[in-house]
Amino acid sequence: MTVRSVTLTSRGRVVLVASAVMAAAAWMFGVQELYSLALAMVVVTVATLVWVATRRWQIDVTRVVHPGRVAAGQEARVELSIRNASTRSSPPVEARDPFDGGRRRARFDVAPLGPGETRGGSYRLPSARRGLYRLGPLEVRLTDPLGLASRTKTTASVTSLTVHPAYELLPMATRSSRPEDDLRVSRPTSGSGGSEFHTLREYVAGDDLRHVHWPTTARLDDLVIRQPEHFRQGRTTVIADLRASVHDDDSLERVLSAVASLALSAVAAGRQARVVTTGGYDSGMGRGRRHGPAILDALAAAAAHRPATAPLLAKLGRTGPAIFVTTDDCPEPDLQRALVSTGAAESTVVVFERRRPGAERLAAPGRLTVRVGSEQPFGRAWSRRLAGSSLS
């Protein structure tokens, strides 16, 4: 527990200033009674400082955030265990727990506790908006009965709350999720030591290099990946346009929510998923219970960025069919360059509309395009567009 020095409260500082004013008035106007009143105020203030400094108390607080990761809009709670570690009854104190860098605070009073007594408590954390939030350190403050002096102790360390973008599970029957049959090379092979695999295929950006089949790679002079039998699922690459020039606060949150929905839906369907952003994040191709939460953690911390000097998604590599998520403020040449960089003609484009009705629409000829109106839920627009799978 970290103990801070005794300080005057705002009320205590006001009392000291008032005593100085009274002393000045007594000297100017010759009113001797004001000297006595000013002296009394100083004596009372000093007495409260001594009282707070000599008071012995030891309150320990244990804090648990449950759960530590939530989707935007879900409830997060802080469970507190407050214990008096002293052999004496504790005085009444105030606990303050800063949240979001001190912009907000949870404040609550702790009534006197008997020796060794433990008491529980809880409060809710605001989790309506995506982000990474810092909580703490929790401070316990003792104030004298007149409220002139205080002493603060830090008892619970800093912890964090991760608020993921809101997401929903969606149907993924699109051309952006291709089967591995498109990539397989007709060379079924068996490994040794029980590590059998289904076939060999060419390397795709995001593949785990531990699966490289080096003898075949050396013979063909090109990377070849061992394709295990249980990896025959489709692949989904989701590309998020996070440039500040195409977003406001609302559209950024909607795009990140859509990216989370698409990636988590692919993982839930047993496919391999990869998320790439224009800000430089690349999750790599992966699947399973750990891959989805790792993507959500990265999206929780994502922010709009200024365009880099390098071309848009220049380092993306040839992903194959992908889902490109942007807004209708994305310049059409940028969109075309991004789609060409994926190396496939079957990519899907998701466009969140921000412009006024009647404005020229962002076009992606020959691509499956999902347009999401400014007031339209993404999940509804996605499902309706897939139901009538004609190209725009």
Query: How many other CB atoms sit within 10 Å of the CB of residue 301?
Result: 11
Q: Which helix (H) or strand (E) holds 261?
A: helix 249-268
**Helix/strand number for the chain, H first, E second:** 7, 21
Question: Which residues are registered as beta bridge partners of 276?
Answer: 239, 282
User: What digits encode the pLDDT tens for the residues 143-159?
Assistant: 999 999 999 999 888 99
- What tokens does 34 get? 């004001």
Res 194 pLDDT > 50: no
Over 70: is that where the pLDDT of 175 sits? no
Are the C-beta atoms of residues 45 and 8 closer than 8 Å to each other?
yes
Residue 310 has pLDDT above 90, yes or no: no
* CA gap 88, 113 in Å, rounded: 9
- In the block, tokens 């350190």 appear at 137
pTM, two decimal places: 0.73
Q: At the top level of CATH, which class does the domain 166-392 belong to?
A: alpha beta
Max avg pLDDT among 1-15, 27-41, 183-197: 27-41
Residues 208-253: tens digit of each pLDDT = 677 788 888 888 877 877 755 444 457 888 999 999 988 999 999 9
**What's the rounded Cα separation, in Å, for the pair 51 and 39?**
18
Question: Which residues, in sequence order, are CB contacts of 194 under 8 Å at separation 6+?
Answer: none
Q: Model confidence over 107-166: pLDDT tens digits? A: 999 999 999 999 998 999 988 899 999 998 999 999 999 999 999 999 888 999 999 999
> Which residue, 388, 325, 383, is CA-closest to 353?
325
The domain spans of the chain are: 9-54, 59-164, 166-392
The answer to whether 368 touches 348, Cβ cutoff 8 Å, is yes
pLDDT tier, 203 (very low <50, low <70, confident <90, very high otherwise) = low
How many residues would you count in the chain? 392
Per-residue confidence (pLDDT) for residue 343, from 0 to 100? 59
Give the pLDDT band (50/70/90) at residue 340. Answer: confident
Q: What is the pLDDT of residues 244-271, one digit of tens each?
A: 988 999 999 999 999 999 999 988 888 8
Fold classification of 59-164 (topology level): Immunoglobulin-like (2.60.40)
The answer, yes or no, to whether residue 185 has pLDDT greater than 50, is no
pLDDT of residue 309: 46
Is 273's pLDDT higher than 80?
Answer: yes
The per-residue pLDDT of the chain, averaged, comes to 82
| Percent of the chain with pLDDT strictly greater than 70 | 79
230: closest CA among 187, 180, 264, 185?
180
